[in-house]
Amino acid sequence: MDIKRIESPPDTITYYDNWDGPGADDIEQRLQPGHVQDVVEIFQTPLTGHYNWDYSSADGRIRKLYRLGKELNWNADMDLDWSQTYPKSEIPLDQNFNPFSGWEPFETLSDEEKLRFGWHNLAWMLAQFMHGEQGALLVASQLASCAPTYDAKLYAASQTFDEARHVEAFTRYLQEKIGILYPINPNLKVLLDKILSDPRWDLKFIGMQIIIEGLALAAFNTLKLTAKDPLLTQLITLVIRDEARHVTFGVNYLEDFVSTLTDEEREDRAQFAFEACVVMRERLIATEVFAEFGWDGEKARKQVLESHIMAQFRNLLFTRIIPNLKRIGLLTDKVRPKFEELGILQFENLLDDGQIDWAELSRPLYEKVS
């Protein structure tokens, strides 16, 4: 076992041996058999754990979500057809959703470079999902220890297994079907660091279950509509099933808890939720891909922020988060103007995830994937 400890995440792209798309002949940095090592970054957390000596179930909703998690487990090896391979000669995403269409630096690329951009853009997107899922894995494992109630501990333990499965599936797709691995986006890393290192268990719930998982769920639904590879669509469909339970769990559990906080404590959590939304808004910008293609980072960022397609996409992401924040009591009078400045307060009265659609969450596995 070769473990390499580093002070911060890698900042370079990794290419695997199976990358045979545009530019493959020029790749010098390759991961070879025998070069594999565990690259780790240490984080410290003053985690306060809770035993719970009352083993009775106090919340039937949470217990039912836990049971659904057990019943609807899926296996990435058995429930996905990995024999499918989307051709590298085709752009893997629907280009009607490309924010750079018509933008001069993109349009001056050769057809081969546009193809290479398509695969790098997808690789970046999936890598951020994968990194985020590892963060969710670590947070869920913390919650199993520090959540104070028995039902929450059981659910957090089941979610930990869900997140491990997601990391496994995204990693395999990136390694076997694309062959490119991007490092974690700095904005996502900042938020994960904050959630993992904060001693307050409820802040971990808010950051992960409401903000990161809520945004990811909306992003997964969009990717499901734009991805051309049937295998990726199947993978995303299975992940969405799990994430829907996770967000529903977070909303139902936090709604009761936040009502017990003092006004000062509630405002502190509301401010954190707002700051997390700001960070996640920036996490949607693929600055690492811009650098790969030699674009001016600030000009490319401006293009993304001003793109009508990306504006619609960002709005779609927050249509889940804002109603859920309102439902649990964190859309306070002090933070409302800040959300309004971001242009996302308008979604506060949309349907939240507090109302549980048991029929939808309970649908059989294969009926959803077909």
65-78 pLDDT tens trace: 999 999 999 999 99
Question: How far, in Å, CA of 147 to CA of 214, rounded?
Answer: 20
- Report yes or no on whether pTM surpasses 0.85: yes
Residue with the larger pLDDT of the pair 271 and 45: 271
Write the DSSP string, 56-82.
Answer: S-S-HHHHHHHHHHHHT---TTTSS-T
Tens-digit pLDDT profile for residues 6-16: 888 888 899 98
Please give the angle made by the CA atoms of 88, 93 and 297, to the nearest 5 degrees: 100
Tens-digit pLDDT profile for residues 180-199: 999 999 989 999 999 999 99
Q: Which residues pair with 3 in a beta bridge?
A: 38
Question: How far, in Å, CA of 117 to CA of 293, rounded?
Answer: 8
Share of the chain above pLDDT 70, in %: 93
Mean pLDDT of 164-172: 97
Residue 79 pLDDT more than 50?
A: yes
pLDDT number for residue 10: 87
pLDDT number for residue 26: 53
Using DSSP, state whether 39 is helix, strand or coil.
strand
Give CA torsion, residues 129, 135, 137, 142, to 10 deg.
Answer: -160
Q: Which residues pair with 38 in a beta bridge?
A: 3
Q: Which of 45-49, 92-96, 207-211 is predicted with the least confidence, judged by mean pLDDT? A: 45-49
What ranges do the domains of the chain cover? 60-369
Architecture per CATH, 60-369 = Orthogonal Bundle (1.10)
pLDDT number for residue 30: 47
pLDDT number for residue 243: 94
Phi-psi category of residue 145: left, alpha or beta, with phi > 0 → left and psi -120 to 50 → alpha? alpha
Residue with the larger pLDDT of the pair 125 and 307: 125
Mean pLDDT of 171-175: 97
Q: Which of 139-153, 207-221, 304-318 is predicted with the least confidence, judged by mean pLDDT? A: 304-318
pLDDT band at 23 (very low <50, low <70, confident <90, very high): low
